[in-house]
Amino acid sequence: MSFEQPAVEVIDLKKTYKGGNVCALNGISFTVPQGEIFGLIGPNGAGKTTLIGCLLALLQPDSGSLRIYGKPSDSISVRRITGYVPERADFEHWMTGRQFLEYHHGLTGKNAKSREADIDEALTMVELSESAWRRRLKTYSRGMLQRLNIAQLLIGKPQLALLDEPTLGLDPTGVKVVRNIVQHMRDTGITAIINSHQLDEVERLCDRVAFIKQGEIASVENIKSGTLHNYMLFVRWSENQLNGTLASVVSDAATKSEALVSECHHQWGRFSVTDHVAASRLIRELVARGVPVEEAVPERTKLEQLFSVPGGKTNHE
């Protein structure tokens, strides 16, 4: 299978339920190149899980085109290179963690000679305590089960990884494990599609993100290039002795940097800025005028802005 073509290509995909009365996907189109980490966000019921079901060939779309590395998603060759982390996995609780992965290793069809090493590698990557490897799954906590859930994806060494809420049930240490695994995917050229409601994690992990609303893609944002605009910047400064009033100095800095002053108080202010370049310019102008800036942070993450804009539309990529 050639990896020169797009990893995923979706064109005008439509899917309805209940005899066509409920539209889950209404003309979804996007392309994911090889090696990209692509995110899916949107409100509940937007169609994200339906889209993943179509990518896995578990659901048959009504119309449109869906190809993975140039082949239909239900091709055997595609299934061999696709891994999946379901949001809520069903586990055989009588199995041990290691038996669970032995079973999934067998499903991959990989050489049995590498089974023990592959399982050790997967369990080590998800940082599941070695003392739990041979314990029955009925003794596992929710977070331990989620780590095992991710390990079963790794066991197949996929070229395309579909992760549905991968940080669900994980503590901060487990969330960091997921970050490391996704970074490993990026470093090794694995393509990943991540569906999550954890916007800060999506923003941290993904190269681009599609915002899906009512079965349609409202926006595709390039997270790495910082293309989202028009956000509120909170700036905190310490006690100061300025020449002139604080308000006039802050207003002058904002005008020079093309920012708008929303609020200005004795030790903090809020500013409307167009992008990260304007934010950096504002901070530089404040400092140049003697304002002892201690902290400057966006009040909302880039992806939170999508939920606050009517229709979820910002700048399209």
Report, as an integer, the average pLDDT of 194-209: 88
- Assign residue 198 the CATH number of its domain: 3.40.50.300
Instruction: Please tell me whether residues 254 and 210 are part of one structural domain.
Output: no
In a domain, 89, yes or no: yes
**pLDDT score for 317:** 36
Residue that finishes a domain, picked among 222, 241, 266: 222
CA 286 from chain center: how many Å? 34
- Is it the case that residue 267 has pLDDT exceeding 60? yes
pTM of the model: 0.75
In a domain, 23, yes or no: yes
- Is it the case that residue 225 has pLDDT exceeding 60? no
- Assign residue 306 the CATH number of its domain: 3.30.70.980
Number of domain units in the chain: 2
Among 83, 36, 50, smallest CA distance to 223 is for: 36
Report, as an integer, the average pLDDT of 236-240: 78
| pLDDT tens, position by position, 20-35 | 788 999 999 999 999 9
Report, as an integer, the average pLDDT of 79-85: 92
Instruction: Please tell me whether residues 172 and 297 are part of one structural domain.
Output: no
Q: Is the dihedral of CA 257, 263, 264, 270 positive or negative?
A: negative
Among 116, 315, 297, smallest CA distance to 209 is for: 315
Instruction: Please tell me whether residues 132 and 157 are part of one structural domain.
Output: yes
| pLDDT tens, position by position, 136-186 | 999 999 999 999 999 999 999 999 999 999 998 888 899 999 999 999 999
Instruction: Please tell me whether residues 124 and 250 are part of one structural domain.
Output: no
User: What's the CA gap between 291 and 297, in Å, rounded?
Assistant: 16
Instruction: Please tell me whether residues 35 and 123 are part of one structural domain.
Output: yes
Q: Kindly report the average pLDDT of the chain as a whole number.
A: 87
Contact 157, 114 (CB under 8 A): no
CA 222 from chain center: how many Å? 12
User: What's the CA gap between 78 and 94, in Å, rounded?
Assistant: 31
CA 278 from chain center: how many Å? 26
In a domain, 296, yes or no: yes
In a domain, 1, yes or no: no
| pLDDT tens, position by position, 303-312 | 776 766 555 5
Instruction: Please tell me whether residues 135 and 107 are part of one structural domain.
Output: yes
Instruction: Please tell me whether residues 104 and 242 are part of one structural domain.
Output: no
In a domain, 3, yes or no: no
Which range of residues forms the domain containing residue 273? 231-312
Report, as an integer, the average pLDDT of 212-234: 78
**pLDDT score for 301:** 63
Q: Band of the pLDDT at 314, cuts 50, 70, 90? A: very low
**pLDDT score for 44:** 86
Question: What residues contact residue 48 under an 8 Å CB cut-off, 6+ apart?
Answer: 40, 41, 42, 195, 212
Residue that finishes a domain, picked among 187, 222, 257: 222
Instruction: Please tell me whether residues 44 and 153 are part of one structural domain.
Output: yes
- Is it the case that residue 315 has pLDDT exceeding 50? no
Instruction: Please tell me whether residues 141 and 65 are part of one structural domain.
Output: yes
Instruction: Please tell me whether residues 107 and 235 are part of one structural domain.
Output: no
Among 289, 290, 308, 288, smallest CA distance to 298 is for: 308
Residue that finishes a domain, picked among 180, 200, 222: 222
Residue 55 tokens read as 């990518």
Q: Band of the pLDDT at 241, cuts 50, 70, 90? A: low
Contact 205, 301 (CB under 8 A): no
**pLDDT score for 5:** 83
In a domain, 2, yes or no: no
Instruction: Please tell me whether residues 248 and 151 are part of one structural domain.
Output: no
In a domain, 317, yes or no: no
Instruction: Please tell me whether residues 109 and 237 are part of one structural domain.
Output: no
In a domain, 168, yes or no: yes
